Structure 1
C-alpha cells in the first residue's frame, strides 16, 4: 500500500471540492497583483495601538496560557494583534524530537494493522488517543502532546492524510470528539463530509463566520510542536496546516512563507499549493474580504 493509501484525503487539502474553487496559476511572486489586499501591507486602524483595547482583549481571554481573547466580532487590527500575541506565548508549549527509527517502526505497525483490520477500524483505534489529547489541548490552551500521540500522528500521516485534515478542521471550527474521530477514521462517511463542507463553507462564503482567535493560536502552537518534533521530510503537512490557519486569520505573509517552505520539502503537498496560490493572489477568507470592503467603503465616504 502506498504512503497515501486507498483512503483519500479530505477537502481541506486535495479533494476536488476545494481545488476547483481556487485558481491553479503559477506561484510567481512577480505575477502577484500590485494592489495587494494582504493585511500586512495595509495601514492598520488606531485600535492596533490602543492600550485600552489591548487590555480589554487580554481580560476577555478565558483560556490558560493565552495572552488575550475575543468574545465578539473583532476588528481587523485587534484580531491580528491578539493572535500574534497569543501564538507567541511560550507557556504550555513543549519541545520534543522524534527519531526516524521510532517513526518508521510506528508506521510499519500502523500499516500492518490496516492490512489486518481494515482502514476504518484500524485508523479509528490508531488515532483515537491522539484525538483525545488534541481536543484536550485545544480546550485547555496548552500545546502539549505525548510522545505516543505525536508518533501516531506522524506515522499515520505517512499512510493517510485523514488525521491531518481532522486536526486542521478542529482548529477552523469546534468539533465534538466523536466528529473528529469519525473524520480521522472514516473521511468518506456522510457525516464526515458534512462536517468538512460546513467548515469550509463558513471559511470561504460566510462573512459572519470569524476565526476563534484563542483556538487558532492554540492550534498554531500545536502544529508547531509537530513541526519541531519530526524530521524535515515530515514537516510539509503540518507546515501546510500552519499556513492554512494563518490564511484563515488574514496573515497572508506568514501563510505565504509557511506554504512555500512546505512545498520546498514536498512539492506534491496539494494543501500547501492551494494556500500559496491564495496568498500569492491575495484571496481572502470571507470575513476578511468583507472587512476590507467595508473599510474601503468607509474610506471613500
Structure 2
C-alpha cells in the first residue's frame, strides 16, 4: 500500500558507536523527549511519513554531534526501550507510533540499537532488562559490553539447552512486523533484518522471505545475507540439532 502522505512505500505484512563522546547533560531532558515529540508529529492513519522520519533522523544525528554518541544514544533509546520491554511482557500490547518511529530511526542511525533489540529476544531473560539493553545500545564498543554480547550469542547459538522463549519471541516479532508495516520502505530494512534473524533462530521458515525482502531493498544488508547463507548451508542453532558451526553477527 502506498502512503497517502509523502514518501510512498509498501507495507510488509509478508515477508558503530563511539564510546568516547561526552554528553552535555543539560540537553538530556530535551533529547529524551524528542522521539515522542517527532513521532506524534509524523503519525498518520496509514503510514508514518518519510519526510518527517528523515527530519527526525537528522535531529538525532545532530544530537549525537552535540552531546556525544554515548549520551545521545542512551537518551534516544530510553523511553522506546521501556515500550519495547512492556511489549515483551506476559501480556504484550501493540507498540505505539512514537516508539516505532524512534526505534526505526534509531536503527537507521546506529546498528547498536538494532543489536539491543536482537539480544532482548535471542538471549532472552539474560538480556531483556533495561540496563543491559541500554549498554548494548550506547556502549557497544566498551570491552565489557562486547564480551557480554559475545558470551550471550555463543550460548544462544551453540548451547542446545538454550531454546527460544516462544511467547517473548512472538511478541517481539509481532512488534517488528508492526514497525515494518508502518514505515516507508527506506526505513523498513533494519526491522525486516531483525525479523529474519530472530525467525531463523526460532526455526521459522518465514525467515528467508523476510531476509530476501530486506535484500531487495538493500543488497548490502549483511544481517539479511547471513540469514540467507545460513539457510542455504543448512546451518541452524544448536537447540534444533544443527551442526557446530554458525556465522553469528
Q: Is the TM-score greater than 0.5?
A: yes
* Kept in 1: contact 2:235–2:242 (CA 8 A): no
Matching residue of 1:129: 79
For 1:261 and 1:282, locate their aligned partners in 2 and report how far apart those are by CA, in whole Å. Answer: 20
* Kept in 2: contact 1:207–1:288 (CA 8 A): yes
How far the C-alpha of 1:157 sits from its partner, in A, is 2.1
For 1:147 and 1:290, locate their aligned partners in 2 and report how far apart those are by CA, in whole Å. Answer: 38
Structure 1 residues 157 and 163: CA distance shift in structure 2, 3 A: same
* Kept in 1: contact 2:140–2:146 (CA 8 A): yes
* Kept in 1: contact 2:196–2:207 (CA 8 A): yes
Matching residue of 2:183: 230
Q: Secondary structure at the match of 2:118?
A: helix
* Kept in 1: contact 2:108–2:190 (CA 8 A): no
Q: Secondary structure at the match of 2:227?
A: helix
Q: Give the superposed CA RMSD.
A: 1.8
Greater length-normalized contact order (CA 8 Å, ≥ 6 residues apart): 1
Matching residue of 1:101: 51
Q: Secondary structure at the match of 2:94?
A: coil
1:167 to 97, 105, 117: 117
Please tell me whether residue 250 in structure 1 is matched to residue 200 in structure 2.
Answer: no
How far the C-alpha of 1:7 sits from its partner, in A, is 2.3
Unaligned runs of 5+ residues in structure 1 are 1-5, 9-94, 292-301
TM-score, structure 2 as length reference? 0.75
**1:109-188 to 2 correspondences below 5 Å:** 109-172=59-122, 173-174=124-125, 175=127, 176-188=129-141
Structure 1 residues 275 and 146: CA distance shift in structure 2, 3 A: same
How far the C-alpha of 1:150 sits from its partner, in A, is 1.6
Matching residue of 1:189: 142
Q: Secondary structure at the match of 1:220?
A: helix
How far the C-alpha of 1:96 sits from its partner, in A, is 6.3
Please tell me whether residue 199 in structure 1 is matched to residue 143 in structure 2.
Answer: no
**1:24-63 to 2 correspondences below 5 Å:** none
How far the C-alpha of 1:154 sits from its partner, in A, is 1.7
For 1:123 and 1:100, locate their aligned partners in 2 and report how far apart those are by CA, in whole Å. Answer: 21
* Kept in 2: contact 1:171–1:219 (CA 8 A): yes
* Kept in 1: contact 2:176–2:195 (CA 8 A): yes
Output one character per residue of 1:190-239: Cα deviation in whole Å (capped at 9) or x when no partner. Answer: 33213311321122211111111111111110111111011112222111
Matching residue of 1:90: none
* Kept in 2: contact 1:120–1:185 (CA 8 A): yes
Bigger Rg, which one: 1
